Amino acid sequence: MTTLPPSQSQTTCASLLQELQVIWDEIGEGDVERDKMLLELEQECLDIYRRKVETTRKSKADLHHSLAQFESEIVKIVTALGEHSFSFSRRNGTLKQQISYIRPVLEELRSKKKQRVKEFTETQSQIAQICAEIAGNGQSMPPSDPQVDEHDLTVKKLGELKSHLQELQNEKVIRLQKVHSHISMIHELSVVMSFDFFKTVSGIHTSLIDPANGQSKSISNDTLAKLTGVVDSLQQEKQRRLRKLQYLGNTLIELWDLLDTPPDERKRFEHVTSLISSSVNEALRQGSLGLDIIEQVEVEVQSLNVLKASKMKELVFKRQNELEDIYRGVHMDVNSDAARQILINLIDSDNVDLSNLLSSMDDQIAKAKQEALSRKDILDKVEKWKHASEEEKWLDDYEKDENRYSAGRGVHKNLKRAEKARSLVSKLPSLVENLIAKVKAWELEKGIPFLYDKASLLTMLEEYAVLRQAREDEKRRSREQKRQQEQFAAEQESLFGSRPKKPLGQANAMVGTPTGRRVSTPAGKHGVSSLKERKETSRVNNAIPLNFVALPKEDPMSRGN
């Protein structure tokens, strides 16, 4: 509060009082009036002082109130923003100084609060928009500012809202991916099955074909459910059509085979028969499962069935030929004439459905194939047995040939064949024994004898085993007799001198025959090699025939290996 200096105030008052005394003197005022007027002046001065003090006191109270409000607002904003690190303390000084200090702090906090409210508003608006899109009313709801709770504007609260918004945005992305995936699948199915893609998709939601006003495709639960339902329904329809076409394709092939349809006519339906082994995911060619394709195939099948009925007799006998070929292929007895006469009687009687008869013959063919398969292992071994028996017979004849080692064309080939034949013949006993065991097991399982061209295979094998054993015994006795003869001749030579020299052919026979079955052993190979050397030495001074073929100087048995 500013005050005048005491000297100036006193001088002013004294001057005014003197002027007033002069006036009163001129007027002629009495002392009573003068005292009264002075008392009034004093009272008025006191009233002015009182009013001024009261006004000043009120201004002071207002300043205190404003300061308190500022401080309270600061506390509220700091609490709402969660600025726990913010510290504020009242400074010393006059009220106006304190207000001038606190006002900028308050303005800064208000600006920060405004910015935070804006962030809350934007975040909550995006959350509300995505929730509305998921609920299915995002396109029909006008955007409105959400109510922000200004009592809680903390960073933690804002972070929670932004985290929730991120989850919703991720959910929106996933839903959009599902929508695009379903739409793509519907388009793919529409291409394969030839239906209107745009009509199908727009029937689910118009935004899926042409989003209006920049709005995105609908991602609501209802839209996703409808898309999923349509995709499932179309996939089932695709599978149903594929199965139907596969059935028709198989039927076509069966009819073509029955009717001997030429390849040129079959090519018209290659697009159908190519689907027989296809899975649902592999059937992707444009229009391959269209209704028009199915109708074309159905018409063709009906036409072929009509043609089949007219050729049924021919097909029946074709089946009979196939059945007979299967039986002959596995050496089973079949009475062709009797079977064909029965078929002719059935067809001529008109009391049998030819389709059922054909089906019955298909069953017989399937049964015959199964029976043939059960005989295959034994028949393969029978072929090996027969081949080995033929080689055994050839080997016997070969070893009886006294000139088998003479020089000439094909000698080395015969030597190789003989070596292989000896190896094969050595396995004959085990082969026959194993074959007999398999035949017995087969007959025990089937309960019927195993016939081979109307004869019992088991009897054939047993007879062969007996005869072979007899031949082996005979060979063994012959070798023993020859050994005794040679021993006797050697004894005679020691008693009476050297024996007369035999012709070359007889020498070859003596060397080749006894060692014929031991040629694969090292001793046998050495004997043959020594024999060749002796033969060549004996022919040094003889003339070479015109048809002589020089053999390589190596062991013929090793070349056979």
pLDDT in tens, 131-154: 888 887 755 555 566 777 777 778
| Contact present, 219 and 174 (Cβ < 8 Å) | no
For residue 521, name the pLDDT band (cuts at 50, 70, 90).
Answer: very low
| Whole-number pLDDT of residue 535 | 38
Position 302 pLDDT exceeds 80: yes
Q: Which residue has the higher pLDDT, 140 or 85?
A: 85
Instruction: Using the predicted structure, report yes or no on whether residue 560 has a pLDDT greater than 60.
Output: no
% of the chain at pLDDT higher than 90: 5
Of the candidates 127, 221, 232, the one whose C-alpha atom is nearest the C-alpha of residue 174 is: 221
Which pLDDT belongs to residue 546? 32
C-alpha distances in Å from residue 372, one per residue of 10, 330, 335, 375, 378: 152, 6, 17, 5, 10
Q: What DSSP string describes 61-109? A: HHHHHHHHHHHHHHHHHHHHHT-TT----PPSS-HHHHHHHHHHHHHHH
Is residue 499 exposed (0-12), middle (13-18) or buried (19+ Cβ within 10 Å)? Answer: exposed
Confidence of residue 299 (pLDDT cuts 50, 70, 90): very high
Residue at 186: amino acid letter? I
Calculate what percentage of the chain has a pLDDT beyond 70: 82
517 or 89: which carries more pLDDT confidence? 89
Please state the rounded mean pLDDT for residues 46-58. 90
**pTM given for the model:** 0.46
What does the block give as tokens for 476?
Answer: 């063994």
Calculate mean pLDDT across residues 184-190: 88
Does 380 score more than 50 pLDDT? yes
Alpha-helical segments (H) within 312-410:
312-329, 336-349, 354-400
- pLDDT, position 534: 37
More confident of the two residues 365 and 523: 365
Helix (H, G, I), strand (E, B) or coil at 362: helix
- Number of alpha carbons in the 13 Å side-chain half-sphere of residue 58: 6
Strand partners, 456: 451
Determine the pLDDT at residue 509.
37
User: SS3 for 73?
Assistant: helix
Q: What is the pLDDT of residues 400-428, one digit of tens each?
A: 777 777 766 777 888 888 888 888 888 88
